[in-house]
Structure 1
Amino acid sequence: MPKLCKFTSPRDGKPVYVNPEQVVVVYTHKGEPADTIIGFGKDFMLGVRESLEETVRILEQATASKSQN
């Protein structure tokens, strides 16, 4: 089973878990406040509280640790 990455829901502050192997895109939606969005294809997007840079770092670390095993 792949290692899941833990993020925070912007709505209620609860944890959400993401499989980094399924992530297609990460971007920032410029709103008030700006939201970081993780995309799993064209039909499913997930907003997280973490910044774009922090989200990418977490996903890259999970992917790198899997490739080292």
Structure 2
Amino acid sequence: MPKLCQFTSPADGKPVYVNPDRVSVVYTFKGEPPDTIIAFGKDFMLGVAESLEETVARLEAATAAPPSIG
């Protein structure tokens, strides 16, 4: 089972969960205020309330290899 990352919906403040293995790109849409967008392929995009840096850090932490035992 993949580890899911929790983010916040900017529309209603409710949690949204993302499978980091499915993320294609993360970027900032320069609006007022700027939005952080997580894209899954070319057809599905999700806006989140977290900053670009925080979003990338959470996704990287979730996909980091677990420490080897030995």
Taking the aligned partners of 1:41 and 1:63, their CA distance within structure 2 comes to: 18
What corresponds to 1:51 in structure 2? 51
Q: Which amino acid aligns with 1:34?
A: P
Deviation at 1:68?
1.7
Greater per-residue helix proportion: 1
Report the 3-state secondary structure (helix = DSSP H, G, I; strand = E; otherwise coil) of the residue aligned with 2:57. helix
Taking the aligned partners of 2:37 and 2:21, their CA distance within structure 1 comes to: 16
Identity %: 78
Q: Which has the larger radius of gyration?
A: 2
Report the 3-state secondary structure (helix = DSSP H, G, I; strand = E; otherwise coil) of the residue aligned with 2:6. strand
What corresponds to 2:66 in structure 1? 68
C-alpha RMSD over aligned residues: 0.8
Moved >2 Å (runs of 4+): none
1:2 pairs with 2:2: yes
What corresponds to 1:26 in structure 2? 26
Aligned residues: 67
What corresponds to 1:12 in structure 2? 12
Q: Which runs of 5 or more residues in structure 2 are unaligned?
A: none
Q: Which runs of 5 or more residues in structure 1 are unaligned?
A: none
